[in-house]
Amino acid sequence: MTAPGLALTGSAAFGDTPVFGPLTLEVPAGQWTCLLGPSGVGKTTLLRLVAGLDELTQFDGRITTTDGDPLRGRIALMAQSDLLMPWLSVLENTLLGARLRGETPDKTHARDVLARVGLSDHQDKRPGALSGGQRQRVALARTLMEDRPVVLLDEPFSALDAKTRAEMQDMACKVLEGRTVLMVTHDPGEAARLGHQIVVMEQTGLRDVTPPPGAIPRAVDAPETLRTQAELLAQLLRAA
Amino acid sequence: MRGLWKTPGASIAGSALLAILLWQAVVSLAAPPSYILPGPYDVAETLITQRGQIWHHTWYTASEVLLGLALGAGLGALSAIGLAASPLATALLRPMMVFSQAIPVFVLAPILTLWLGYGIWPKVIMALLIIYFPVTSAFFDALMRTPQNWLDLARVMGASRGRVMRHIRIPAALPGLASGLRLAAVYAPIGVIISEWVGASQGLGYLILLALGRVKVDLMFATTIALAVMTLLVYAGVDRACRRWLDRA
């Protein structure tokens, strides 16, 4: 699997109200791009446009890939809420995509993936019996089962406590390595840890922020990471 | 002792005892003739002496109710899925269904008897008609309330509409169907009794009219109690089946 890079150029409006102005977002192949910004600035709309989900917003522009093939069918999505089906077991939830496409579910592979996210002992449980962090790991396993080169993350860890969030960031980095990841986040610390690219979205457009040095996930207590985190927060405060 | 009344069994027994005492009080104080209002003792005696007859008619009515329930629930569930799958069907059929609810279903009982005779079918159809709308409506509303996030996820996964219906919308809407079925369990006996009043040779509705015609008011009351117990049992059965099914699904 070679992950393509992608680029979105254009503007979006909801009726007469502009959602975001003319902008260009480039998401390099095989890397993490973190999109940060205040609420209501259109981050999620942008992500939904890339996912091909937004039908109500008028988008005037283009979404392109570096290999020229369409994005359709090459995307996996992970959102803030885990979106697990409460009536299915952990294993069945992991296999949801295959089930929805009418493919033969590959249980062996699903068990391997669950083992990678540390849920081997929970595969027959219902989501209701799991903690928030475990549920989000099932969602991550489901995303991995899709095995798509492009992964869209919409604040996937924002509802977790600080420790679980940091653990999930480490795990996601490891298991999504080599894929093109576009992550929308509210959390400057998360962007500083995970972004190969960090982009701040404001009313006026996008602004690139130099990421801290080093491979991801960066250590939570590395001085450069903390400095970038503080800078990002200061920028968000100024923008608001 | 205080806590005892909080258990369901004690609460039901206490409530029944209170009702019987009130009934007996009215009979003792107003002393109506027994062909107007018999006392609880007379009715209990009739229940025991006439148990063979009452059991026969209860069984007959129960089979009409259960058949009507099964057909109405099946047809209602299928209609709800059909409507939820097709906006065109919803646009065309929903107003018709709502309008049909403005017709009191009871007015159809005589014509059903004319068309289908005195056997069980007009009763079954009547039960079906009376429960069809609550079942369809409860299930349809639940099918239309699937969380948008789930549908988005399914779309990114490349799901077909049919599979989204089967694997997400229907399972997510089962609690709605269950509440429709619980309502149906209480409504179905009403439809059956009305239809039995219009024309029948068996069943609890028939027995009630027969008893009144012969001024056997105690038998009429005993039959009514049998009908109430049957309805409660049908409700409890449906409720239990729904719970088990939802736990497993």
Instruction: Find the domain containing B222 and state its range.
Output: 38-248
Q: Kindly state the tokens that stand for B160.
A: 């077909």
Does the pLDDT at position B3 exceed 90?
Answer: no
Identify whether B9 is part of a domain.
Answer: no
Nearest to A234 by CA among B122, A226, A116: A226
**How sure is the predictor about B214, in pLDDT bands with cuts at 50, 70 and 90?**
very high
| SS3 at position A63 | strand
Whole-number average pLDDT of chain B: 92
Q: Is the dihedral of CA B99, B105, B111, B117 positive or negative?
A: positive
- Any idea what DSSP says for residue B169? I
**Is B159 in contact with A76 (Cβ distance < 8 A)?**
no
Name residue A42's amino acid. Answer: G
**Which residue of chain A comes nearest to B171, CA vs CA?**
A87
Chain A contact present for B245, CB below 8 A: no
Q: Which residues pair with A76 in a beta bridge?
A: A151
| Cβ pair A100:B149 closer than 8 A | no
Closest CA–CA distance from residue A97 to any residue of chain B (Å): 6
Give residue B125's pLDDT. Answer: 95
Indicate the pairing of strand A75-78 with strand A150-154: parallel
| CB of B28 less than 8 A from some CB of A | no
CB A216 within 8 A of CB A233: no
Nearest to A75 among B156, B168, B249 (CB): B156
Closest Cα in chain A to B155:
A53
Chain B residues closer than 8 Å to A101 by CB: 157-160, 163
DSSP for chain A, written as a single string: --PPPEEEEEEEEETTEEEEEEEEEEE-TTSEEEEE--TTSSHHHHHHHHHT---SSEEEEEEEETT-S--TTSEEEE-SS----TTS-HHHHHTHHHHHHTPPP-HHHHHHHHHHTT-GGGTTS-GGGS-HHHHHHHHHHHHHHH--SEEEEESTTTTS-HHHHHHHHHHHHHHTTTSEEEEEES-HHHHHHH-SEEEEEETTEEEEEPPPSSSSSPPTT-HHHHHHHHHHHHHHHHH-
Q: Which amino acid is at A187?
A: D
CA distance B46 to B148: 59
Instruction: Pull the structure tokens for residue B17.
Output: 């005892």
- pLDDT, residue B2, reads 60
Q: Is the separation of the CB atoms in A106 and A98 below 8 Å?
A: yes
> Rounded to whole angstroms, what are the CA distances from A164 to A64, A94, A132, A217, B16?
35, 20, 9, 14, 55
Q: State the pLDDT at residue B105.
A: 85
**Is B219 within the bounds of a domain?**
yes
pLDDT tens-place string over residues B9-59: 888 899 999 999 999 999 999 989 988 999 999 999 999 999 999 999 999
Residue B158 touches chain A, beta carbons under 8 Å: yes
Mapped to the 3 state alphabet, what secondary structure does B117-162 carry? CCCCHHHHHHHHHHHHHHHHHHHHHHHCCCCHHHHHHHHHCCCCHH
Q: What is the number of other CB atoms lying within 10 angstroms of the CB of residue B101?
A: 13
- Is B23 a domain residue? no
d(C-alpha B202, C-alpha A45), whole Å: 66
For residue A155, give every residue at least 6 positions away whose Cβ sits within 8 Å of its Cβ, in sequence order, or none: A79, A80, A184, A185, A186
Name the CA radius of gyration of chain B, rounded: 22
Taking the C-alpha atoms of residue B184 and residue A37, their distance in angstroms, rounded to an integer, is 52
Q: How many other β-carbons are positioned within 10 Å of the β-carbon of residue B57?
A: 23
In B, which residues are within 8 Å of A156 by CB distance? Answer: none
pLDDT confidence band for B5 (50 / 70 / 90): low
Q: Indicate the Cα dihedral angle A189, A193, A194, A200, nearest 10°.
A: 40
- B243/B249 Cα distance (integer angstroms): 10
CB-CB under 8 Å, A101 with B156: no
| Domains contained in chain B, number | 1
- Helix, strand, coil in percent for chain A, rounding step 5: 35, 25, 40
Chain A interface includes B247 (CB < 8 A): no
Digit-by-digit pLDDT tens for chain A (240 residues) are 689 999 999 999 988 888 888 999 999 999 999 999 888 888 989 999 999 998 888 999 999 999 999 898 999 999 989 999 999 999 999 999 999 999 999 999 999 999 989 999 999 999 999 999 999 999 999 999 999 999 999 999 988 899 989 999 999 999 999 999 999 999 999 999 999 999 999 888 899 999 999 999 999 999 999 999 999 999 888 876
Interface touch B159/A77, C-beta < 8 Å: no
Q: Looking at residue B1, what is its pLDDT?
A: 53
Task: For residues A52 and A67, give the distance between their C-alpha atoms in angstroms, rounded to a whole number.
Answer: 18
Task: Give percent of chain B with pLDDT exceeding 90.
Answer: 82
Per CB distance under 8 Å, which residues of A are interface residues toward B?
48, 51-53, 73, 75-77, 79, 81, 83, 85, 87, 96-97, 99-102, 146
B199-217 as b/e: b if 16+ CB within 10 A:
bbebbbbbbbbbbeeeebb
| 3-class SS of residue A148 | coil
| CB-based contact A96 B249, cutoff 8 Å | no
Mutation for A interface: B156, B169, B246, most A CBs within 10 A: B156
Q: Taking CB atoms and an 8 Å cutoff, what residues of chain A touch B160?
A: 100-102
CB B59 within 8 A of CB B117: no
B154 close to A (CB below 8 A): yes
Rg (CA), chain A: 18
If DSSP codes are grouped into helix, strand and coil, which group holds residue A55? coil
**Span B52-92, pLDDT tens digits:** 999 999 999 999 999 999 999 999 999 999 999 999 999 99
pLDDT of residue A232: 93
Answer whether A97 sits within 8 Å of B158, measured CB to CB: yes
Contact A100 B159 (CB under 8 A): yes
Q: What pLDDT does A159 receive?
A: 87
Confirm whether B92 is domain-assigned. Answer: yes
Residues of B in contact with A99 (CB under 8 A): 163, 167
Picking from B149, B167, B171, the nearest residue to A100 by CB comes out as B167
Alpha-carbon gap, residue B137 to B159, rounded angstroms: 26
B5 in a domain, yes or no? no
Cα of A231 to nearest chain B Cα, Å: 33
- Closest C-alpha to B123, from B64, B76, B66, B73: B64
Residue B33, number of CB atoms within 10 A of its CB: 8
| Domain CATH number, residue B198 | 1.10.3720.10
Average pLDDT over residues B214-218: 93
Q: Taking CA atoms, what residue in A is nearest to B168?
A: A85
Write the single-letter amino acid at B46: T
Q: Are A140 and A84 in contact (CB under 8 A)?
A: no
Question: Looking at the complex, does the CB of residue B150 fall below 8 Å from at least one CB of chain A?
Answer: yes
Contact criterion met (CB < 8 Å) for B163 and A146: no
Q: B248: how many CB neighbours lie within 10 A of its CB?
A: 7
Contact A17, A70 (CB under 8 A): no
Determine the distance in angstroms separating the CA of A96 from the nearest CA of chain B, rounded to an integer: 9
Check CB contact under 8 Å for B158 and A101.
yes
